[in-house]
Structure 1
Amino acid sequence: MDPVISRRALNRATLDRQFLLRRTTRSVIDVVEHLGGLQAQTPHTWYTGLWNRIEGFKPDDAAGLLSSRELVRIALQRSTIHLVTARDCLAMRPLLQIVGERSARGAFGRRLEGVDLDELAAAGRELLEARPMTFAELGRALAERWPSHDPHALGQGVRWLVPLVQVPPRGLWGRSGPIAHTTAECWLGFEAPPMTPAELVLRYLAAFGPASVMDVQTWSGLTRLGEVVESLDLARFTDENGRTLYDLPGAARPSEDTPAPVRLMYDFDNLFLSHADRSRVITERGAATLKSCVGKNGVLPRIILVDGVTAGDWTVTRTKGTSTLTLHQWEPISVMEEAEEEGRRLLEFLAPGDKHAIAVADGPFRS
């Protein structure tokens, strides 16, 4: 019989692998690769995700790597934009191609009827390797060749057919720019062997385990990974609900009594998006609160973790040179002094030139 692992022990194991029990001194490249990337739908909020995990992290530590093309932002897991290393970009994309294809075919398949997809991919690649383009620009250019088809669908068709990276200055700290793309191969200038499903599962468990087959499928967007998981030499556990969980045999699993510090998480942090059963970090009350306050666009609030689980959310407002971080407690936060101190440290990171203030509010923030 597989040993039972408690929800709290799962929490501590995952937080440890996410560098959220203690910040690491590992490099940005090492951390991003270990995590299998950070979801980076927004241009800048993911910087807070690295600040939460890396001791002494500064924005330029990652912005410089984007500029030097050692990090890139590309649609990967769940067909969402992720910040990944150059090597993982090239290795993961062929394996996860089907995820974007599934999504795009459902949304744009009918509007692309009559278009030879190989020709569309080749035409899109040629245009984007000549110069980076937004999807609007790309669609208009492609419509000159396929005038009877929707330009938006043509552009999105290229997005699913060709690995595309968003190019700087988009994503650089403190800067903005058009959402322009070029091909990953053109931008990076080298090739890497594609990752296998087994390698992807092992990478996932190293960052998010112990976990079920459904968990890894939720994170990746892939399906039918059961046989892959069963073929691997993995440790097995049973959770409190009787589900089978898998893990790397030698992975650290800290005691469930290990202290977990307050963390102020960013809006798209994969900690909350990478398990089918998210109860290891989202409490029942937290789940109910999130259901009531998540907007139509599906964006999570910026969550406060207390003792490793959801306890509130946080916002920052700026008025007349003063940045105020407000801690919205969903229930009384027993370690408010620690939360306020973490908030002050975060303000030093987010707004180093401003005056700083901390406020506390009851109930979730509602925009």
Structure 2
Amino acid sequence: MPKSSRPAPSRTTVRSRALSRRALSRATLVRQWLVERQDATALEAIEHLVGMQAQAPLAPYVGLWSRLRDFDPTELATLLENREAVRGSAMRATIHLMSSRDFLAIRPLIQPRLDREIYQNQTYGRHRLEGLDMDAVLAAGLEELTAGPKTATQLREALAPRFPDREPAALAHAVRCLLPTIQIPPRGIWGKGGNPTLSTADLWLGRPIDPNPSVDQVILRYLAAFGPASVQDIQTWSGLTRLTEVVDRLTPDLQIYTDAESGRTLYDLATITLPEEDLEVPTRFLPEYDNLLLSHADRTRWIETETRARLTLQEVLTRGSILHEGTAVALWRLDRKTKKTAVLEIEPIVKLTKKAHQEIEAEAGELLTFAASNAQAEIRITN
């Protein structure tokens, strides 16, 4: 079984070596459960990863499949339907799948990022909210959500008559970000769908948001899942700023490394031993928005800067990524034109070796067995 996702640090700080890009990638891949699939539950995996980005509603299913042995989609669907897990705005003001207890504990810590999302948003930003009694807006939004879950359209329609001189979409966006909103099922359920429908975590779960959340514990858990990492990495993952003081407070209990490429100071749990730099790692398919690729300020441990610069934002956001030997080498998308046919489209972003082709095709076949077992499926690798 995997180690607890809530580690207690050692009391001794040990200063150590500089870490190469390869050493960093191996260290993080191991703790991301992408070197060896784990015999863990979906809930244990979600908590170990401190949540999974879930803007693409079904992306976490592929993320869990890549990390767990014998993962069954109904396990995650049941967690959502039984309210043991939720999908809501969290790190970086994006939709995350989290255990219910984690959402209640972590969501209040992320509020400063969601405040910025409100007042700096290009579409619904400050100039549309100037002079607005935000407390009154949130009270009205809470009243409407207490009466029952609402889609974004329903929330806009409910708020518009209360604030007739304001844009309904801006009002609804403020409620979504400033209240601890979640998207309830069937959104995010394997084999189902539907428009995002909002409630709040405390209403949906019947439990209050944690009044005394611990940013220290969240940072330690981040390191357990994504480390070794710099302060900038932690801030990139969370969307928060000014965390240097918090990390400085934790430093006496942490292992310190140096990034051999940038010279930045890296922090890690003193209880974790790093794997060998020459560790062989398998080919893995990551879903859209997988946090592995989004949770470090310096992403060169996964993808060369030149390669990343060639990709458009649309390409990156609408397709998953394929890791080969610890590096992103291709993008993928599963096209289900009908219920009976499926095409797994793979587009290399670097020149693939013969070995890479073979390993990608083998893992692609496993993915199709998982995601499209009831369809006539094929794999297409573009040149």
TM-score by length of 1: 0.94
Question: Which residues in structure 2 correspond to 1:16-27 (within 5 Å)?
Answer: 16-27=30-41
1: distance between equivalents of 2:352 and 2:148?
A: 53
Question: Which residues in structure 2 correspond to 1:1-367 (within 5 Å)?
Answer: 2-107=16-121, 108-191=125-208, 193=210, 194-232=212-250, 233-240=253-260, 241-290=262-311, 293-295=312-314, 299=317, 301-318=319-336, 321-329=340-348, 330-333=350-353, 334-362=355-383
Shift of 1:239: 0.9
Q: What letter matches 1:242 in structure 2?
A: G
Shift of 1:310: 1.1
Q: Which piece of structure 1 moves more, 17-26 or 317-326?
A: 317-326
Shift of 1:54: 0.8
Q: What letter matches 1:210 in structure 2?
A: P
1: distance between equivalents of 2:279 and 2:356?
A: 16
Shift of 1:14: 0.5
Whether the aligned pair in 1 keeps the contact of 2:87 and 2:96 (CA below 8 Å) is yes
Q: Which piece of structure 1 moves more, 210-219 or 188-197?
A: 188-197
2: distance between equivalents of 1:300 and 1:137?
A: 27
2: distance between equivalents of 1:24 and 1:70?
A: 21
Q: Which piece of structure 1 moves more, 53-62 or 319-328?
A: 319-328
Measured against aligned partners, the alpha-carbon deviations of 1:23-57 in whole angstroms (never above 9, x if no partner) come to 11111111101101000001112211111111111
Whether the aligned pair in 2 keeps the contact of 1:215 and 1:277 (CA below 8 Å) is yes
State percent identity of aligned pairs.
44
2: distance between equivalents of 1:5 and 1:138?
A: 50
- Secondary structure of 1:4's counterpart equals strand
Q: What letter matches 2:167 in structure 1?
A: D
2: distance between equivalents of 1:172 and 1:251?
A: 35
Whether the aligned pair in 1 keeps the contact of 2:38 and 2:68 (CA below 8 Å) is yes
Shift of 1:149: 0.9
2: distance between equivalents of 1:30 and 1:357?
A: 33
RMSD: 1.6
Measured against aligned partners, the alpha-carbon deviations of 1:147-206 in whole angstroms (never above 9, x if no partner) come to 111111111111122100101111111111121101110101123534322112111101
Shift of 1:277: 0.2
2: distance between equivalents of 1:126 and 1:174?
A: 32
May I ask how many residue pairs the two structures share in their alignment?
Answer: 359
Q: Which piece of structure 1 moves more, 326-335 or 348-357?
A: 326-335
The 4+ residue runs of structure 1 with deviation greater than 6 A are none
2: distance between equivalents of 1:253 and 1:272?
A: 20
Whether the aligned pair in 1 keeps the contact of 2:54 and 2:96 (CA below 8 Å) is yes
Runs of 5+ in structure 2 lacking a partner? 1-14
2: distance between equivalents of 1:196 and 1:319?
A: 46
1: distance between equivalents of 2:220 and 2:59?
A: 27
Shift of 1:285: 4.4
Runs of 5+ in structure 1 lacking a partner? 363-367
Shift of 1:317: 2.9
